[in-house]
Amino acid sequence: MKKGQAAWGSMEVLLSVIMLGFSMGIVFFAMQSLEDTRCIATLKAQTTSLQNAMLDVALGAPPTQRKVDYSFPSCRGYQMAALRFVYYQNAKFCSICPGVYNGCWIIIPTYYDSKVKRLYDFTDASVCVNLPADVTLNILDGGMPGCLGTGRTTSNPCIASVPGATIPACTAAFSNVPASIFDYGKGCEDQPVSCWQTFAPKQGDGRTLRFILSKDIAPTKTTGVINVCAVKPG
């Protein structure tokens, strides 16, 4: 074999290796994208099931109750850390709720990025809580059977802890909530700009929480209330 032919043969082998590596990279990227899509779809399906259970309770008569198990998976390389329930008074934050002109409730799966020490939402897995106008949510960490002292809820957009990490104080920056709507602690009955309740598993819970939804009558007797709490399954 001549020197030129040998050199060309080596070049062909090199190009083949480069093309193979490039092709494998494309395949890996496609498979990872598909897995991420499936994970987000599963996460949204869970959130939708929770919202549907809320609707069942809303349409039922007291003491209608539903229990929904919700797992906290890893999607896009991040472990889901919490499930936020947020009420927005201003309809401009209710874009995922068709036909809403007043306030809205939205359920938002959330993860913690330890590199930047901030919380982020899986926005494409968030679901609007399509409740009848005369029904409100009462998110609580006690006060109904099975919910007393669960220690899994914060009355703000933050989480209390993450295994192996030190959690900063709850601020607009850490929670990744715009400062203009970072408002909590007043109670949703006071109709603040927004109000938040964030559910997160505590140590020993594993990666699943059981949400207990119970129908009640509001003190005014003119509206219905859905009590919501979370406990360890089992």
The pLDDT profile of the chain, 234 residues, written as one tens digit per residue, is 555 555 555 666 666 666 656 556 554 444 556 677 899 999 999 999 999 999 999 888 888 899 999 999 999 888 999 999 998 888 888 889 888 777 888 999 999 998 888 999 999 999 999 887 777 888 776 666 667 767 788 888 998 877 667 788 888 899 999 888 876 555 565 556 788 889 998 877 888 999 999 887 765 555 678 889 888 887
For residue 16, what pLDDT is reported? Answer: 65
For residue 189, what pLDDT is reported? Answer: 57
Q: Which of 92, 98, 104, 75 is nearest to 178 (CA)?
A: 92
Q: What is the pTM of this model?
A: 0.80
Residue 212 half-sphere exposure toward CB, CA atoms < 13 A: 19
Residue 139 neighbours by CB under 8 Å, 6+ apart: 85, 153, 188, 197, 228, 229
For residue 46, what pLDDT is reported? Answer: 95
For residue 28, what pLDDT is reported? Answer: 47
Residue 145 neighbours by CB under 8 Å, 6+ apart: none
